[in-house]
């Protein structure tokens, strides 16, 4: 995801992989007595174990286990970064300089000390190697002030940076080992092959074996300087969802990560079902390019759609654990709109708005990807429900399902009259959702060009420059309130993230970036 436009493509491709992946590879060993081995079933979206190149969901699970970052989050709480390899951090008043003090006594898996030089090399490598996650540090200068101090200097105010640093892609490498195996911190870097077979980090686990199509085996790092993980070995297997359900029910695995709401109903009492709203927001877009549509560019038409959707009905389809999205920023993140600001269905209000639009019995095409699922939820039943909802208002919706590659091209190129899509966070900070503003990544996909809504754009600029939790929350709430009133997007729902575990597995907390921290499992 070197750019946000690529990010959406990778997210979508990842979701497609979740939907289409079959089980493969050799079976993992069953859990050993004493809880020494943990078996996790998931649908792989995995390309590499090199932290400088990984940005896929399964890769981030592996990266979180094998590498440490300067900052992290406490469990599933993404509203405040906390120290990890850095013992403290401070953002300058202008929001441009982040100063971090390294914790003393931290060591890599080979026993060598983690130094400021390792940090500078690792972060510079991510930025300059131009791998998928390099955009995380675009415009950021990385410098060593002294042996225990690092500064990250941004061109513009960057209050999001502390929320970006916990991403496992920014894990700190043992620079000496990495350089010996081809790491160069530029586009000529050749360390990936080594890092796919060996860990060069300081995390609670190391890689024992790594296969992008079948399974990854992690072993506990005997020299880990933090709390010892509960399991000596963790086996992460690539298994399709239906088989995940069977495996966890019969005890062949202890964790299933990719079950739909339907699949987790009527689970045996011996299993734990963790249902929580995911950080994915499913939304409608109405194209604002008059060359694409004379209908969707009508503000009153968009109002009619917003008021005509039956949000409660969509939640019924999505299942328990799902929640309505009041705005484009998901509920877990700083700056999310409170639930009481969510739009409620108003059929009469929708009909009145449509009458004011001057449009007579409008008909629009709604495009969406066919084989794509998000958290086990298909777009087809959602599209059908929206079609039925809007028919009651007087709007005819012509469903236009397409293979994900075709649908994605039309979406990214701004050619859809209406679209049904989703956005998952690149990092858990509200600034990632400025992509929905005019002239930005998602805005342009809706034909919404710079200058189209100057008050919303001004609100976005104010939010981007805001410093401090209180000021930022207020600014992002204002952006979303304005978007809901006059933007071309209709936030719909956050589908449920369903994780099933054996009763013996404790400490599980869903995380919107790395899904689950395997080192926490069994420790609480």
CATH number at residue 189: 3.40.190.10
Give the Cα separation of 468 and 424 in Å (integer).
Answer: 24
Kind of pairing between the strands at 255-259 and 396-402 = unpaired
Question: Which ranges of 336-440 would DSSP assign to H, the alpha helix?
Answer: 347-357, 379-393, 404-412
Report the pLDDT averaged over residues 172-189.
Answer: 96
Q: How far is CA 512 from CA 17, 108, 382, 427, in A?
A: 18, 27, 23, 9
Q: Is the pLDDT of residue 181 over 60?
A: yes
Query: 326 and 473 in one domain?
Result: yes
| DSSP element (H, E) containing 421 | strand 418-423
Mean predicted confidence (pLDDT) in 84-91 = 98
- The dihedrals phi and psi of 215, each to the nearest 5 degrees, come to -160, 155
How far is Cα 519 from Cα 218, in angstroms, rounded to an integer? 11
CATH number at residue 466: 3.10.105.10
- Please give the Cα distance from 299 to 18 (Å, whole number): 36
For residue 357, pLDDT beyond 60:
yes
Is residue 237 domain-shared with residue 357, that is, in the same domain? no
* Secondary element (H or E) of residue 210: strand 205-210
Q: Are 233 and 285 members of one domain?
A: no
Residue 320: DSSP 8-state: T
Is pLDDT at 451 greater than 60 in this prediction?
A: yes
Residue 18: helix, strand or coil by DSSP?
A: helix
**Counted domains in the chain:** 2
User: CA–CA distance from 168 to each of 58, 176, 198, 237, 471 (Å)?
Assistant: 11, 20, 16, 20, 28
Judge if 464 and 515 occupy the same domain.
Answer: no
Percent of the chain with pLDDT over 70: 93
Q: Considering just the CA atoms, what is the radius of gyration of the chain in Å?
A: 23
Q: Which residue has the higher pLDDT, 31 or 39?
A: 39
pLDDT the model gives residue 262: 85
Name the helix (H) or strand (E) containing 256.
strand 255-259
Paired strand residues for 273: 500
Residue 30 to residue 263: CA distance in whole angstroms: 23
Q: How far apart are the two ends of the chain, measured CA to CA in Å?
A: 34
Residues 337 and 222 in one domain: no
> If pLDDT is split at 50, 70 and 90, which confidence band does 478 have?
very high
Q: Name the nearest CA neighbour of 307 among 341, 352, 338.
A: 352
Does one domain contain both 301 and 402?
yes
344 & 398 share domain: yes
Nearest to 102 by CA among 87, 91, 113, 84: 87
Burial (CB < 10 A; 0-12, 13-18, 19+), residue 283, is buried
**Rounded mean pLDDT of the chain?**
92
Q: What's the CA gap between 295 and 290, in Å, rounded?
A: 8
Identify whether residues 271 and 322 lie together within a single domain: no
Query: What pLDDT shows up at residue 376?
Result: 82
pTM: 0.88
| Greatest CA separation for the chain | 73
Tens of pLDDT, residue by residue over 338-349, are 999 999 999 999
pLDDT of 17 above 60: no
Distance of CA 468 to the CA centre of its chain: 23
C-alpha 210, offset from chain centre: 23
With tokens 């939790």, the residue in question is 469
Q: Which residues pair with 501 in a beta bridge?
A: 255, 272
Q: What is the mean pLDDT of residues 407-435?
A: 96
Cα–Cα dist 112/122, whole Å? 16
Does 368 lie in the same domain as 354?
yes
- pLDDT > 50? residue 137: yes
Both 168 and 298 in one domain: the answer is: no
Spatial CB neighbours of 352, under 8 Å, sequence gap ≥ 6: none
Q: How far is CA 319 from CA 78, 259, 302, 377, in A?
A: 24, 12, 27, 9
- What's the domain range around 342? 281-494
How many CA atoms lie within 13 Å of 199's alpha carbon, on the beta-carbon side?
Answer: 31
Asked if residue 262 lies in contact with residue 317, where contact means CB atoms within 8 angstroms, the answer is: no
Instruction: Let me know whether 241 and 288 are in one domain.
Output: no
The tokens of 125 are what?
Answer: 């490598």
Do 179 and 193 fall within a single domain?
Answer: yes
Please count the helices (runs of H) and the strands (runs of E) in the chain.
15, 21
Percent of the chain at pLDDT > 90 equals: 87
DSSP characters over 71-97 = EEEETTEEEEEEESSEEEEEE-TTS-E
For CA atoms 53, 58, 61, 65, the dihedral sign is negative
């Amino acid at each position: 995801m070197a750019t946000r436009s690529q990010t959406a493509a990778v997210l979508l491709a990842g979701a497609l992989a979740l939907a289409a992946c079959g089980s493969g590879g050799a079976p993992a060993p069953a859990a050993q007595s004493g809880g020494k081995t943990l078996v996790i079933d998931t649908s792989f979206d995995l390309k590499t174990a090199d932290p400088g190149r990984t940005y896929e969901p399964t890769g981030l699970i592996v990266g979180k286990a094998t590498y440490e970052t300067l900052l992290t989050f406490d469990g599933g709480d993404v509203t405040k970064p906390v120290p990890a390899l850095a013992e403290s951090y401070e953002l300058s008043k202008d929001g441009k300089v982040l100063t971090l003090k390294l914790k003393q006594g931290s060591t890599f898996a080979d026993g060598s000390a983690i130094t400021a030089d390792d940090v500078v090399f690792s972060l510079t490598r991510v930025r300059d190697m131009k791998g998928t996650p390099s955009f995380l540090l675009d415009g950021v200068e990385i410098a060593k002030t002294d042996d225990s101090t690092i500064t990250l200097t941004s061109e513009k105010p960057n209050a999001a940076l502390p929320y970006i640093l916990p991403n496992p892609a920014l894990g700190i490498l043992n620079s000496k080992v990495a350089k010996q195996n081809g790491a160069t911190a530029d586009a000529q870097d050749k360390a990936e092959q080594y890092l796919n077979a060996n860990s060069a980090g300081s995390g609670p686990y190391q890689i024992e074996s790594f296969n992008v199509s079948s399974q990854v085996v992690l072993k506990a790092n005997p020299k880990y300087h933090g709390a010892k993980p509960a399991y000596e070995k963790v086996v992460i297997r690539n298994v399709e969802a239906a088989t995940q359900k069977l495996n966890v029910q019969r005890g062949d695995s202890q964790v299933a990560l990719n079950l739909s709401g339907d699949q987790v109903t009527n689970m045996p009492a011996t299993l734990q079902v963790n249902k929580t709203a995911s950080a994915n927001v499913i939304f409608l877009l109405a194209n604002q390019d008059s060359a694409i549509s004379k209908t969707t560019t009508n503000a009153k038409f968009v109002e009619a759609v917003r008021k005509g959707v039956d949000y409660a009905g969509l939640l019924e389809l999505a299942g328990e654990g799902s929640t309505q999205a009041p705005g484009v920023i998901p509920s877990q993140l700083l700056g999310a709109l409170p639930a009481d600001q969510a739009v409620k269905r108003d059929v009469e209000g929708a009909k009145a708005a449509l009458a004011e639009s001057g449009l007579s019995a409008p008909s629009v095409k709604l495009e969406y990807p066919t084989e794509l699922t998000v958290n086990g939820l298909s777009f087809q039943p959602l599209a059908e429900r929206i079609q039925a909802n809007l028919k009651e208002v007087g709007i005819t919706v012509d469903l236009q399902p397409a293979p994900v590659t075709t649908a994605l091209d039309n979406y990214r190129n701004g050619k859809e009259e209406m679209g049904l899509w989703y956005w998952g966070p690149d990092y858990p900070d509200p600034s990632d959702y400025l992509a929905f503003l005019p002239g930005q990544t998602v805005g342009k996909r809706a034909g919404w060009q710079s200058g189209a809504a100057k008050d919303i754009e001004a609100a976005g600029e104010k939010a981007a420059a805001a410093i401090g939790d209180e000021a930022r929350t207020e600014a992002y709430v204002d952006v979303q309130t304005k978007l809901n009133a006059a933007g071309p997007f209709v936030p719909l729902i956050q589908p449920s993230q369903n994780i099933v575990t054996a009763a013996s597995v404790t400490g599980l907390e869903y995380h919107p970036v790395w899904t689950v921290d395997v080192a926490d499992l069994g420790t609480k």
